[in-house]
Structure 1
Amino acid sequence: MTAFALDPSQTAWCEELRTLAEQRLRPLAEKGEPGHVNRPLVAALGELGLLERLLDSGALDLCLLRESLARGCTEAETALALQGLGTYPVIQAGTPAHRERWLPEVRAGRAVAAFALSEPGAGSDAAALALDAAHTPDGWRLTGEKCWISNAPEADFYTVFARTTHGAGARGVTAFLVPADRPGLTGSSLDMLSPHPIGALAFDGVPVTHDDVLGEPDRGFRVAMNTLNLFRPSVGAFAVGMARAALDATVVHTEERTAFGGPLRELQAVAHQVAEMATRTEAARLLVYAAAAAYDVGEPGVPRRAAMAKLFATETAQYVVDTAVQLHGARALRRGHLLEHLYREVRAPRIYEGASEVQRTIIAKELYANREPSA
């Protein structure tokens, strides 16, 4: 297993990012319209060089970016991560023309990207995609639906995964780069627990050509999985960032809040809960870093490590934020309180990019597949 440690420059960079998120990005986030893409925030991420860093990062740097921004402004973290998720297939499998057209726009924060994989009948089982790509003399026509697509319907382009060969499972999926202005492509917003830009897309014979293919026809599932293998540990990093923000707030609160003749921290029940929050958060953080470091050096077992990191970190963040709310009491339930915000934000990562149950399946399958046969 790769040994790693953050050097002083990385630690300092993380603190700079958190301060930047709190002081420069949070005011822009607060001005955004709930449920819609915050284009001034995306533009600021470009102006500050964070989108440039995102697209040039390895897995560990990506995790440091997401964790640090999440501690200071979850909206900025999410806007950055969605740009990466929608654009990484272009970096990985796009043509020179794709890269020349879209990467400068994304880096500058002028174009908004989206990753269009999920469908009404294909969420966790991504290989069951039904969006139909029917052959035409010029390429294909896409017909069907996508749902739970972040940045839809306001993105400027979508990385879309469609069924080009029926009955072939994962081996019959092709990845396409589809600009938002293609005829026949429409969308609608979905009203979610945490008001992010998420929507559904309808494809009514949307034309795509061989020039729109990312990678090779019928090999798009690999593009999707390579993207998720990179981003799953970083979802864990997002969760760790939220857990650390909740822990930071709880340490301050239990130091300053008095009850039964002294600060809350002097109550053993409270002190033990805070210790448990800190221990689980640090364990999750190290698991995320280990998965990212393994990805960067190409070690085997990356899908299992990515699944472990996402599973443990997102479940831990749920526990830490919930415990923080409990220790803060009624004030944490008030609209606008940091913990009220985190309580809504922390639930979705246990579902998207592979629910916790899917991560457990990935982990178990690899363990059994690699088991040494009995003598």
Structure 2
Amino acid sequence: MSDQSYLGWPFFDAEHATLVQTLDEWAKAHLPQLTAHEHEDLDGTCRRLVTALGEAGFTRYAVPAGAGGVYEKLNVRSLCLIRETLARHNALADFAFAMQGLGSGPISLFGTEQQQQDYLADVAEGSKISAFALSEPNAGSDVAAMECRAEAEGDGFILNGTKTWISNAGIADFYTVFARTDPTLEGAKGISCFIVPADTPGFEVSERIDLVAPHPLGTLQFTDCYLPAKQLVGEQGRGFAIAMATLDVFRSTVAAAALGMARCALDATLDHIGQRDIFGGKLVDLPLVQAKVGDMALAIDSSALLVYRAAWTKDCVAERVTREAAMAKLAATESAQQVIDSAVQLHGGKGVTKGNIVESLYRDIRALRIYEGASEVQQTIIARQAIDQHKG
């Protein structure tokens, strides 16, 4: 059984521990059946996961109370705990939940009351799937290089351009899309955020992208898509700030998902080494194996401290946690990669056998070091904040 002693840390309230226990029991009872055909029917599995998470009430944590959520504003500790728990059970289930929050995040944080009622209530129920469209072929980590344009026309905007590496491409009911509305401004200025329903004329998913750990991912094409002014999220020209504020909330949850995968890898390893016969004893008896397990456990607890410091700080102390979230994501994703690699090594041949849990985790973890800001981006964020703080 996974270590849950961390739930007694001062970062959490009683309802957080109850949430984890409730979700853990639900995941054990439902996820095996829900994900049984994830490789043969990826899109269908994701839709079923969102529906099931909605029916069970867990997607309510992805939106604020005004639109059917649990808390008045997004509770990052709950989001992290849900992602950690789901990722420990199944990576695709974690993905399905995460995108409900990230895709609708700009609306939760900056949307009008009408926008929240129109979209977030369905997200909370699991009846609509959301997506977050920021990256472009030439604008991934460098958001300032964005080329997608939304030109004012009449009482709305005409959207043209391409987005790629977009999760939930092809299954989302709506997309929060970032586009440049003022081409005269350079860099991150002049970018705005829009809600684009999937049935908008001129919108299409032009490509699906297959990954080492498959989930719905693709390229979006916008050709003369007309968007009424009511589809603008927040103030025109404030899109970059909206995107960064959204990532400020959800970047810590990526770290939490990595933490859940690392916990799963350690659990599987402890089971394996306790049963594996070698040299007249068990694998667990070897000092070198114990040293590796010690490193794995240390990495997990170190990551957990950073993850839940960031989440607690966001919930209870500061409006922005760019530095804390960057540290959590960098440490947790990099450490999880090492923990899972050690798990594969200790499993020997079984560790690279298709279908083994640690083999699946080895593929699942890799993308987390890239999306929502690659590790190198997090290093840069941390360094710049440290330098600025020292100057100040």
Q: Please state which band the TM-score falls in when normalised by the shorter chain.
A: over 0.9
SS in 2 for 1:170: coil
2:364 counterpart residue number: 345
Cα 1:28/1:217, change in 2 over 3 Å: same
2:47 counterpart residue number: 39
**1:9 CA displacement:** 5.0
Q: Are 1:311 and 2:317 an aligned pair?
A: no
1:28 counterpart residue number: 34
SS in 1 for 2:35: helix
2:245 counterpart residue number: 226
Given candidates 222, 235, 238, the residue that maps to 2:257 is: 238
2:62 counterpart residue number: 54
**1:10 CA displacement:** 3.0
Q: Please say if residues 248 and 320 of structure 2, whose CA atoms lie closer than 8 Å, have aligned partners that are also in contact.
A: no
TM-score, with structure 1 as normaliser: 0.95
Aligned-partner Cα distance in 1 for 2:376–2:228? 37
SS in 1 for 2:189: helix
Given candidates 329, 347, 357, the residue that maps to 1:328 is: 347
1:84 counterpart residue number: 101
Aligned-partner Cα distance in 2 for 1:183–1:131? 17
2:3 counterpart residue number: none
1:160 counterpart residue number: 177
2:117 counterpart residue number: 100
Q: Are 1:11 and 2:17 an aligned pair?
A: yes
Q: Please say if residues 87 and 94 of structure 2, whose CA atoms lie closer than 8 Å, have aligned partners that are also in contact.
A: yes
Structure 1 unaligned blocks of 5 or more = none
SS in 1 for 2:210: coil
2:80 counterpart residue number: 63
**1:21 CA displacement:** 1.6
Cα 1:308/1:92, change in 2 over 3 Å: same
Q: Please say if residues 239 and 349 of structure 1, whose CA atoms lie closer than 8 Å, have aligned partners that are also in contact.
A: yes
**1:91 CA displacement:** 1.1
Aligned-partner Cα distance in 2 for 1:9–1:82? 23
Structure 2 unaligned blocks of 5 or more = 1-8, 64-70
1:205 counterpart residue number: 224
| TM-superposition CA deviations, 1:233-263 (whole Å, max 9, x none) | 1100000000000001111111111101111
**1:212 CA displacement:** 0.6
| TM-superposition CA deviations, 1:175-203 (whole Å, max 9, x none) | 00010100100003111111100011001
Q: Are 1:185 and 2:203 an aligned pair?
A: yes
Cα 1:317/1:181, change in 2 over 3 Å: same
**1:138 CA displacement:** 2.8
Aligned-partner Cα distance in 2 for 1:72–1:177? 32
Q: Please say if residues 148 and 160 of structure 2, whose CA atoms lie closer than 8 Å, have aligned partners that are also in contact.
A: yes
**1:54 CA displacement:** 2.8
**1:298 CA displacement:** 3.5
Aligned residues: 371
| TM-superposition CA deviations, 1:206-233 (whole Å, max 9, x none) | 1112111000100011111111000111
**1:160 CA displacement:** 0.2
Aligned-partner Cα distance in 2 for 1:279–1:12? 25
